[in-house]
Amino acid sequence: MAGSREEAPDYGRGVVIMDDWPGYDLNLFTYPQHYYGDLDYVLIPHGIVVDRIERLAKDIMKDIGYCDIMVLCVLKGGYKFCADLVEHLKNISRNSDRFVSMKVDFIRLKSYRNDQSMGEMQIIGGDDLSALAGKNVLIVEDVVGTGRTMKALLGSIEKYKPNMIKVASLLVKRTPRSDGFRPDYAGFEIPNLFVVGYALDYNEYFRDLNHICVINEHGKEKYRV
Q: How far apart are CA 210 and CA 197, in angstroms?
A: 6
Q: How far apart are CA 37 and CA 219, in angstroms?
A: 7
Q: How far apart are CA 183 and CA 51, in angstroms?
A: 19
- Name all domains of the chain by residue range, CATH numbers in brackets: 47-190 (3.40.50.2020)
Per-residue pLDDT tens over the stretch 72-96: 999 888 999 999 999 999 999 988 8
Pairing of strands 116-123, 102-113: antiparallel
Q: How far apart are CA 188 and CA 143, in angstroms?
A: 10
- pTM value is 0.87
Element holding 138 (H helix, E strand): strand 136-144
Per-residue pLDDT tens over the stretch 151-202: 888 988 898 899 999 999 999 999 888 888 899 999 999 999 999 999 999 9
Q: How far apart are CA 141 and CA 169, in angstroms?
A: 5
**Selection from 190, 223, 211, 165 nearest residue 41 by Cα:** 211
3-state helix, strand, coil in the chain (%, to 5): 30, 30, 40
